[in-house]
Amino acid sequence: MSTIHIDEAAGSDDTGKGTPELPYQSLAFAVYSHPTASYLIRKDSAGTYEEPTQSALKKAKKGADGIEKKKKKAEELAEREAKEKKEERERREKLLEESKKIVLQEDPALPAAKKAKLSKLTDLRGSRVRVNGWVHRLRDQKGIIFIVLRDGTGYLQCILSGQVSQTYDALTLTLESSVELTGTLQPVPEGKTAPGGHELVVDFWKVLGAAPGAEDAFTNRLNEKSDASIQADLRHLVLRGETASAILKLRAALLSAFRQSYDANNLIEVTPPCLVQTQVEGGATLFALNYYGQPAFLTQSSQLYLETCLPSLGDVFCIQESFRAENSHTRRHLSEYTHLEAELAFINFDDLMTHIESIICETIDRLLENPTSAALIKQLNPNFTKPARPFTRLSYVDAIKWLNEHGIQHEAEDAEGNVIKDEAGNPKMVDHAVGDDIAEAAERRMTDILGTPVFLHGFPAELKAFYMKKIPNQGGDGPVFTESCDLLMPNVGEIVGGSMRIADMEELLAAYKREGIDPSPYYWFTDQRKYGTCEHGGYGLGVERLLAWLANRYTVRECSLYPRWPGRATP
Ligand code: 4AD
């Protein structure tokens, strides 16, 4: 007869073998698994192995009986479940076999159905309609199938019951399959809700493109818990979601509203090129490419082209992609973004800021007046209130003062631009001084505290692009300031950058020189100053940034159809 070892502290009933090296933990389990053995038990490794007392043994026998009973019960349950599963499978197989015999026919006696988009159904209530779309939601309730159909224009609840819900296609229907549904459109019963206030009672339908189920089912590839990189890889599927599609619809409404506002303000739309041979916002952020053996770039800004349109078309605007090769992984930077730019002739700096404010406010008013776009704003940003006018204007010099008064510091840098660290390795923080670039973090804190749109204006020339006009008649030895402005929005920061432009040819030539820019490829831009120059100014607005503010999105990446950032140019 073998001897079984039990160590009540270090033993294990799961992995133990009853040996001195691998003892069991409980006497009950030892008795259960080796009923005829003799036993040695200890409390822990500090104690010695001893025979259990008679009463302990008696108790353990009872325990062993319990284990035996539990095991039997578990086996019975597993057996029953397996049987039920098998029966369910057989029932389903039989049902599927039966379902194949049901072939739906459209009843020719019914009134002819009118084909319609989901957003255009209200006037068709009470009549027979035919709709197409994707299965957005799917629920089978005691043989009645409820589908929420999506076609891009809206959503519709559809009910399949009786024969229409018993076909093979009905029993195997999956989310994201494309379908055609025909039936009578009815108002939803009192006390119930559905998108649009109506539902389709389906009398005939077909699957157009079945989506896979099981392993490859839509919800297995993508769901709310999918991590950010999977969501980025599957952006094409993310777009089918309610939030992503609402953002894109609002984006379309925003662009359309901007176009209406520009039209109302006599600005003409032009479409400048993307392939260019000049820089606008500094060489560091240019994407270079080989253009038939010549160096060329993807445009950073269409500003210079817009300036050339003034004598031909008057005030102009464009909505064009701009490209920035910035290695910025922030929530407001994209490598490609939609740039809304405008240029106006015969204006002064005050006119420019007033115009920017008016265009933005008029555009927001249009969005709020339109029930469809107003509903999208409500859905995405329920607390949105339109900004009060006039926007606060804060000069750059006053902003530096404000930051220091509010204890908002920035990282100290050495002459080479490297961050200076203290002994603990943390960046050394210092007050702002006139001449400093206001970094993104400080700017964001300022806008968040102010909580309203703010025009920051009058930046030092050395922080800004070569083309900016200097504030006239500046005295003193300090930095030279420009007629430039950034519009900052709460939660996002800078959404607009604009300025008056150098109108004088000599001044422009000096600016090229100062920035080390070869003027020859800019001959067409310089010519504007030669053939009837004028005071003019303009701006660029980041569409994704404005949308992030309007729709209360965490990042501009959510506001672009297929966002690009460093390392990401797919899908
Ligand atoms: O301030 P920026 O660089 O100004 C210009 O390009 C001017 N030439 C525009 C003009 O006067 N016509 O850019 C203008 C705006 C910024 O305020 C910001 O909203 C957006 O473009 N922007 C970006 N948006 C997303 N990702 C980026 N990497 C961006 N860089 C600028």
Distance of CA 228 to the CA centre of its chain: 10
Q: What is the pLDDT of residue 475?
A: 78
> What percent of the chain lies above the pLDDT cut of 90?
88
Nearest CA to ligand 1 atom 1: 497
Nearest CA to ligand 1 atom 20: 542
Structure tokens at 200: 């389709």
pLDDT tens per residue across span 314-324: 999 999 999 99
Of ligand 1's listed atoms, the one at least distance from the Cα of 342 is 12
Contact 63, 27 (CB under 8 A): yes
Report the largest interatomic distance among the alpha carbons of the chain, rounded to a whole angstrom. Answer: 115
Q: If pLDDT is split at 50, 70 and 90, which confidence band does 114 have?
A: very high
Structure tokens at 88: 């369910």
Ligand 1 centroid to Cα of residue 496, in Å, is: 7
Q: Integer distance in angstroms from the first to the last C-alpha of the chain?
A: 70
Ligand 1 centroid to Cα of residue 347, in Å, is: 21
User: Cβ of 130: how many Cβ atoms within 10 Å?
Assistant: 17
Q: What is the pLDDT of residue 243?
A: 97
Partners of 24 in the β-ladder: 6
Ligand 1 pocket test: which of 254, 270, 276, 494 has the largest number of ligand atoms within 8 Å of its C-beta?
494
- What's the alpha-carbon Rg for the chain, to the nearest Å? 36
Ligand 1 centroid to Cα of residue 463, in Å, is: 14
pLDDT tens per residue across span 518-556: 999 999 999 999 999 999 999 999 999 999 999 999 999
Structure tokens at 127: 């009549």
Distance of CA 131 to the CA centre of its chain: 29
Ligand 1 centroid to Cα of residue 539, in Å, is: 8
CA distances from 520 to 276, 300, 525 (A): 14, 19, 10
Ligand 1 pocket test: which of 254, 545, 555, 560 has the largest number of ligand atoms within 8 Å of its C-beta?
545
Structure tokens at 547: 């949308």
Residues with CB under 6 A from ligand 1: 280-281, 301, 303, 324, 326, 333-334, 337, 339, 341, 494-498, 538-542, 544-545, 556
Average pLDDT of the segment spanning 149-169 = 97
Average pLDDT of the segment spanning 124-149 = 97
Contact 30, 24 (CB under 8 A): yes
Q: What is the DSSP letter of 513?
A: H
Cβ neighbors of 311 (< 8 A, separation 6 or more) are: 345, 528, 531, 532, 534
Q: What is the pLDDT of residue 319?
A: 98
Ligand 1 centroid to Cα of residue 267, in Å, is: 20
Ligand 1 centroid to Cα of residue 323, in Å, is: 10
Range among 83-92, 125-134, 433-442 with highest mean pLDDT value: 125-134
Ligand 1 pocket test: which of 322, 455, 485 has the largest number of ligand atoms within 8 Å of its C-beta?
322
| 156-159 contacts, C-beta under 8 A, 24 or more apart | 156/118, 156/121, 156/131, 156/194, 156/195, 156/196, 156/198, 156/199, 156/200, 157/188, 157/194, 157/195, 157/199, 157/200, 158/131, 158/183, 158/199, 158/200, 158/202, 159/199, 159/200, 159/201, 159/202
d(CA 171, CA 92): 9
Q: If pLDDT is split at 50, 70 and 90, which confidence band does 1 have?
A: low
Ligand 1 pocket test: which of 267, 278, 337 has the largest number of ligand atoms within 8 Å of its C-beta?
337
Is a pLDDT exceeding 90 seen at residue 414?
no
Q: What is the pTM of this model?
A: 0.87
Ligand 1 centroid to Cα of residue 498, in Å, is: 9
Ligand 1 centroid to Cα of residue 276, in Å, is: 17
Q: If pLDDT is split at 50, 70 and 90, which confidence band does 45 have?
A: confident
Interstrand relation of 198-209 and 155-160 (parallel, antiparallel or unpaired):
parallel
Cβ neighbors of 526 (< 8 A, separation 6 or more) are: 505, 508, 509, 519
Nearest CA to ligand 1 atom 3: 281
- The dihedral region occupied by 152, where left means phi > 0, alpha psi between -120 and 50, and beta the remainder, is left
Whose tokens are 């909580």? That residue is 451
Ligand 1 centroid to Cα of residue 390, in Å, is: 23
CA distances from 472 to 59, 468, 475, 479 (A): 100, 12, 9, 13
Looking at every residue in the chain, the average pLDDT score rounds to 95
Greater confidence (68 vs 305) lies with 305
Cβ neighbors of 306 (< 8 A, separation 6 or more) are: 270, 272, 316, 317, 318, 341, 342, 343, 538
Contact 364, 468 (CB under 8 A): no
For residue 291, give the 3-state DSSP assignment: strand
User: Cβ of 219: how many Cβ atoms within 10 Å?
Assistant: 12
Ligand 1 pocket test: which of 301, 318, 321 has the largest number of ligand atoms within 8 Å of its C-beta?
301
Of ligand 1's listed atoms, the one at least distance from the Cα of 326 is 28
Whose tokens are 């908002």? That residue is 408
| Least trusted range by pLDDT, from 67-71, 203-207, 358-362 | 67-71
Identify how many contiguous H helices and E strands the chain contains and give both numbers: 15, 21
Peptide bond into 566 cis (omega under 30): no
Is a pLDDT exceeding 90 seen at residue 246?
yes
Ligand 1 centroid to Cα of residue 331, in Å, is: 15
Q: What is the pLDDT of residue 430?
A: 92
Ligand 1 centroid to Cα of residue 540, in Å, is: 6
Ligand 1 centroid to Cα of residue 165, in Å, is: 54
Q: What is the pLDDT of residue 125?
A: 96
Of ligand 1's listed atoms, the one at least distance from the Cα of 339 is 21
Is a pLDDT exceeding 60 seen at residue 117?
yes
Structure tokens at 218: 């839509």
Ligand 1 centroid to Cα of residue 85, in Å, is: 61
Ligand 1 pocket test: which of 267, 281, 299 has the largest number of ligand atoms within 8 Å of its C-beta?
281
Whose tokens are 């003799």? That residue is 38
Average pLDDT of the segment spanning 227-250 = 96
Nearest CA to ligand 1 atom 21: 542
CA distances from 202 to 101, 113, 179, 184, 199 (A): 20, 11, 12, 7, 9
Average pLDDT of the segment spanning 151-157 = 97
